[in-house]
Amino acid sequence: MTGTMMTLFLSEGDVRAVLPMPDLIAAMERALAEYSAGRVVQPVRTVLEVGPDHAFFGLMPAALENPPIVGAKLVTVYHRNHERGLPSHLATIVLMDPETGALAAIMDGRYITEARTAAVSAVSVKHLAKPDATTLAVVGSGVQARSHIEAIRHVRPLTDVRVWSPHAEHRDTCAREAALATGLAVRPAADARTAVHGADIVVLATSSRTPVVDDRDVGAGAHICAVGACRPDQREMPSALVARAHLVVDSRAGALKEAGDLLLAIEEGVVTDRHIAGELGELVAGGPAARRTPRQVTIFKSLGMAVEDVVAANVAFARAREQGLGQRLGLA
């Protein structure tokens, strides 16, 4: 990044062109390990509630030493955007020159948010799901559902993918489009119980504020990627499921401030904060939070971290410069 006064602007198309999913999964694995090793400066994100519709605006800064990266993501969640034909989650990522603080890059962060979330879940599947896992259930039918199917197929040989959401048209469309994009056998399920029953891997990617699966429907040995509930009053899982599972998080600090799935279970007296077995980055680095038995249910509770965004953005920035992509802006 050093030695230039020009700022590179990357569109979503530019970012997509230089961030294939296998490379992003590898980058996220490294980013998680750096974070859990204490080599990342990253506060828990600041979230503001905006307007009468209770939209959210979040600020997520991070700085790394190796490789040197300084940046931040500005993210908004406006659930009524679907009525306007816009995504509910929008984001912009900025990167600064780590030596001078000069603005090095501005890029669309919507796709990075979508893809890095799924890539991190794939890292959790790689380290926590059973080695012979082949069946995937996805509860949700939005961009995260599609992105998770794409990501997880790179770390497990999926043979059966089921998708469920409350809207029949949405789940049918999601299943059809995911099958075309990946070549996998993807089919809509009649209800959440049918989707989850017997699944080796379960992805919960919804906007629900209340549990979307029942504890008894999750079989022994399943691994759950819970990515939807990101506020302390939201949950996708009942307390009983959280309590019987081996729980791994992306960030202890973040989970104890934002993860309603955990915080509500603590509030109900079902578990304590000691129920967290570890961070995913600790597991990547060989820590002790691995699955203990083939029949153990494991949960990865994902909230998303700024380090994931800025590492992904830095990869996109470096590759875009090599390939001559993007627009160079003279903002200085």
Encode pLDDT of 279-312 as tens digits.
999 999 998 888 889 999 999 999 999 999 999 9
| Cα 138 from Cα 149, distance rounded (Å) | 8
The token pair that represents 65 in the structure block: 């030493």
102 and 203 both lie in a single domain? no
Print the domain residue range for 252: 119-304
The helix (H) or strand (E) run that includes residue 64 is strand 55-64
Most confident of 5-9, 75-79, 208-212, 238-242: 238-242
Q: What is the mean pLDDT of the chain?
A: 94
Strand partners, 74: 59, 92
Query: Residue 1 — very low, low, confident or very high, per pLDDT cuts 50/70/90?
Result: very low
Q: Does residue 216 contact residue 297 with C-beta atoms inside 8 Å? A: no
98 and 198 both lie in a single domain? no
81 and 132 both lie in a single domain? no
Residue 178 resides in a domain: yes
pLDDT at res. 332: 56
201 and 146 both lie in a single domain? yes
CA 271 to chain centroid = 24
Residue 80 resides in a domain: yes
173 and 277 both lie in a single domain? yes
The residue-averaged pLDDT of 258-278 equals 95
145 and 189 both lie in a single domain? yes
217 and 321 both lie in a single domain? no
Sign of CA dihedral 265, 267, 270, 271: positive
84 and 12 both lie in a single domain? yes
pLDDT at 160 over 50: yes
pLDDT at 150 over 90: yes
pLDDT at 2 over 70: no
Residue 323 resides in a domain: yes
CATH number where 261 lies = 3.40.50.720
Neighbouring residues of 140: CB distance < 8 A, sequence distance ≥ 6: 163, 165, 203, 204, 205, 206, 228
- b/e per residue 276-315 (b: at least 16 CB within 10 A): bbbbbbbbbeebebbbeeeebbbbbbbbbbbbbbbbbbbb
The torsion of the CA quartet 187, 299, 117, 274, rounded to 10 degrees, works out to 160
Residue 257 resides in a domain: yes
* Eight-state DSSP code of residue 167: -
Domain count, the chain: 2
Residue 2 resides in a domain: no
CATH number where 107 lies = 3.30.1780.10
83 and 128 both lie in a single domain? no
The residue-averaged pLDDT of 104-123 equals 97
The model's pTM: 0.93
Sign of CA dihedral 33, 2, 99, 73: negative
The residue-averaged pLDDT of 238-242 equals 97
164 and 242 both lie in a single domain? yes
84 and 167 both lie in a single domain? no
Encode pLDDT of 180-238 as tens digits.
999 999 999 999 999 999 999 999 999 889 999 999 999 999 999 999 988 889 999 99
pLDDT at res. 319: 97
Sign of CA dihedral 105, 111, 114, 115: negative
Q: Does residue 30 contact residue 311 with C-beta atoms inside 8 Å? A: yes
The vertex-226 CA angle with 225 and 229, nearest 5°, equals 165
162 and 276 both lie in a single domain? yes
| Cα 247 from Cα 267, distance rounded (Å) | 17
